[in-house]
Structure 1
Amino acid sequence: MRQVVLDTETTGLEVQRGHRVVEIGCVELVQRRRTGRDFHTWLNPERAIDEGARAVTGISDESRRDKPKFAQVAAEFLAFIDGAELIAHNAGFDIAFLDAEVARAGMEQIRLAQRNPVIDTLELAREKFPGQRNSLDALCKRLDVDNSHRQQHGALLDANLLVEVYLALTAGQGALGFGDEAGDTPVARRASFHVGARPMLLRASEAELALHEARLAVIDKVAKGQCVWRRE
């Protein structure tokens, strides 16, 4: 499965009042693993940035004037997310702004949520931690994701943090992560045998045991001590 974790920074909070996107950050995952590919761009929003947005992001009007307009990067952005499941925190906000930008650029009529499945990590967090603060910073603290370098909001920075938050929130729902999905792992190679051959006792290596324990620790934290694999 191919997924794109994304975040945007904007000139303000209300797309209905003509606020625009000033930064887009996307990180690609395949089979719940980073591929090393990302999409990042600063944008000229063609309007002033609200004081509140400047305080949160540190982005000034002057620093955006020489940046490309969304229409200039729209095709590249749409190509990057094509066919991927989109993951965003408070996804409705980001998707609404991106839909407005795509429509303004005259690229397509269909909305992003109709062309791409969308996962909202805020909704996932509210289901898992009802009644608690579920901002990105709060989730980083709760799930032991290091965000000490996040002094201000930034689209690519926040997308990278959201990758770790999403993987922690959904630990145990995908592959356990001990090797690639093609089965070309030390465990898979040692476990191969011929029909009729004498059964072999396979023991996990120290490295495999460490990976197993690390994964159980993440699952146990999210499950609040109810990880079934730790029950005797």
Structure 2
Amino acid sequence: MKKLNLRQIVLDTETTGINFYPPYYKGHRIIEIGGVEIINRHITGNNFHVYINPKKNISLEALNIHGITNKFLYDKPTFNQIIDNFLDYIKNSELIIHNAQFDIDFLNYELSLLQKNIPNIENMCSIIDTLKISRKLFPGKRNSLNSLCSRFNIDKSNRNIHGALLDAKLLANVFLSMTSIQDSFILEFQKKKNINEINNIQKHLVKKKLLIIHPTEEEHKLHQLKLDYIKKKCGFHLWN
């Protein structure tokens, strides 16, 4: 049987600005996309990385986060010029994104501006949000990318500022570590659940008084006659 390849793309974007509430993309554009390919839980090195000229000024707030300037992006391609390569890269894959709604909203907005009737990203790829996974695994704790890197001892020393490819590489390692932990949690839960079920059954049996039904004298005689008949026919007693 041919082994199926599970292809996953860890994705991150940087933008001209940030809104804290949906729609995140309102008034802003994507300026960088980074992707890291994982096949069967192995990082392949087949990455996707592109800077994009947004034809729009970058806000000071965003500049302080990623350090990307309009001057740097002046000679970079537009989104329209990179879209075919990007879609070829992510097709037939599962997208892994931290706080996925943010990036998906931006990407879908960019697609809508092209007016090419391209489907929304979630209609082309399945999506895993690592922020949702981390909140389930570590409720009440900080679950930013920095916090998760620290929690899983992943080197983030080069992350002085945000970068789409750098963050995608870090998230790829976080995802693999986190899902291994998730699987072990599930297995441990199932193991404990099975042990608890067995213990509960044993306790129930101990507490429950077994009902013993004794044969009547007539039943005992008939049973003995049957045994004697078997011994006579077979030459041996059935339980001797």
Could you tell me which runs of 5 or more consecutive residues in structure 2 were left unpaired when the two chains were aligned. Answer: 1-5, 192-240
1:90 and 2:99 are equivalent in the alignment: yes
Of the three residues 4, 8, 30, the one matched with 1:3 is 8
Of the three residues 128, 142, 161, the one matched with 1:133 is 142
Task: Calculate the aligned-residue CA RMSD, in Å.
Answer: 1.9
User: What are the residue-to-residue correspondences of 1:54-203 with 2, within 5 Å?
Assistant: 54-171=63-180
Q: State the AA in 2 paired with 1:56.
A: I
The percentage of aligned residue pairs carrying the same residue is: 44
C-alpha distance in 2, partners of 1:85/1:16?
Answer: 22
Kindly state the Cα deviation for residue 106 of structure 1 after the two structures are TM-superposed. Answer: 2.7
Secondary structure at the aligned position of 2:55 is classed as coil
The structure carrying a bigger helix percent of its residues is 2
Q: State the AA in 1 paired with 2:115.
A: G
Q: Which residue of 2 aligns with 1:180?
A: none
Secondary structure at the aligned position of 1:102 is classed as helix
Kindly state the Cα deviation for residue 65 of structure 1 after the two structures are TM-superposed. Answer: 1.0
C-alpha distance in 2, partners of 1:144/1:57?
Answer: 23
1:89–1:121 contact (8 Å) kept in structure 2: yes
Q: Which residue of 2 aligns with 1:13?
A: 18
Q: Which residue of 1 aligns with 2:60?
A: 51
Q: Number of matched residues?
A: 180
Kindly state the Cα deviation for residue 46 of structure 1 after the two structures are TM-superposed. Answer: 0.8
Larger radius of gyration: 2
Q: State the AA in 2 paired with 1:61.
A: N
Could you tell me which runs of 5 or more consecutive residues in structure 1 were left unpaired when the two chains were aligned. Answer: 175-218
Secondary structure at the aligned position of 1:17 is classed as coil
Secondary structure at the aligned position of 2:180 is classed as coil
1:113-153 superposed Cα distances (whole Å, 9 cap, x missing partner)? 12110000000000000111100000000111110111000
2:149–2:155 contact (8 Å) kept in structure 1: yes
Change (3 A) 1:16 1:157: closer
| TM-score, scaled to structure 1 | 0.73
Change (3 A) 1:228 1:140: farther
C-alpha distance in 2, partners of 1:169/1:107?
Answer: 37
1:92-127 superposed Cα distances (whole Å, 9 cap, x missing partner)? 000110111112123434211121100000000000
Of the three residues 51, 72, 81, the one matched with 1:42 is 51
1:168-194 superposed Cα distances (whole Å, 9 cap, x missing partner)? 1100678xxxxxxxxxxxxxxxxxxxx
C-alpha distance in 1, partners of 2:36/2:116?
Answer: 22
